[in-house]
Amino acid sequence: MPEPSPKRELGGKVKGKSNDTAKSARNSNRQKTVAIISKPGRPELCDVLPVLEKWLQDRGYAVVVDEESAVYFSASDVMGRSELAARAPELALVFGGDGTLLSAVRAVAEAGTLILGINLGTLGFMTELAIADLYPALEAIEKESYIVDSRSMVRGTLIRDQKNAATHVALNEVVVSKSAIARLNHFELFVDAEFVSSYRADALIIATPTGSTAYSLGAGGPILNPDVDAFLITPVSPHGLTHRPVVVRDTVEIEIRVQTGKEEAYLSFDGQVGCPARVGDVIRCVKAEHRARLLRFQRTFFEVLGTKLKWGER
């Protein structure tokens, strides 16, 4: 692992210092907590996680693991992933690919937790660290020698009969897609209550800059630098040939009105949680109140793109 940089916050505006001051005061009065979050079905973690828990405990950390991690070893403190934020861990170590990291972000980002992804997957846009580099990274974290990428998130709310039926946050995207294989969905799009267009398409994606390299990219959307204050609206296989992705500021309120007739649509968040949507439903998307704080060391966004997308070298 390259020599780490001094601690820095990148990728977004940090509102004042009151939150950090309060958090520091709270943390100084209690034992620091590290959460371990893991992808299922990775037998190599049977050897990795017990050693890691002991390493952390020997250095005075309280360690809590999610139920998926507890499958690999007899952990001392286990709880559901959705309950981890209540413990306000200072650091979350996430073993898996980008999918596991997305789930972890939704679970702990609201607690202001620093999140480090250890890559057990394939592509790994956000999980940059190899297991071999885990302990040098942890030692760098103890010395506060790291970079924090502060990533914006999107909050989507399903409104049915003028009531909030479901609300979730996502790091990558909110997607309204078709549930019937052969049918196009019909959506009406509004930005800050102004009508933009009516779409007939397989799906409509509302992506964050982080999500611009996920589903939206495969649908022909542009790549946004993570520190751009924007949302990306990308139709998937639109019936109208002139419909193209649109970039808007992330201060706007985006509304998608579902006009599917008898067919149901499906609303999903990061491709992992979701619910059916039907005619007359409104999906309202705004910037989430909290951000994801992803740890990295040396590699820049464009270095990651070059490596993961196999872009040519000069």
DSSP-H helix ranges across the chain: 18-28, 45-58, 67-70, 98-108, 134-142, 215-218, 301-308
Does the annotation count 133 as an active-site position? no
Closest among 249, 284, 261 to 176, alpha carbons compared: 284
H or E segment to which residue 42 belongs? none
Catalytic residue among 20, 58, 66, 98: 98
Rg, the chain, Cα only: 20
Helix (H, G, I), strand (E, B) or coil at 218: helix
Asked if residue 156 lies in contact with residue 283, where contact means CB atoms within 8 angstroms, the answer is yes
Question: Kind of pairing, strands 154-160 and 163-170?
Answer: antiparallel
The tokens describing 71, both together, are 């499958």
Closest among 143, 64, 137 to 104, alpha carbons compared: 64
CB hemisphere CA count around 71 (13 angstroms): 13
3-state helix, strand, coil in the chain (%, to 5): 25, 35, 40
CB atoms within 10 A of CB 192: 12
Which residues are identified as catalytic?
Answer: 98
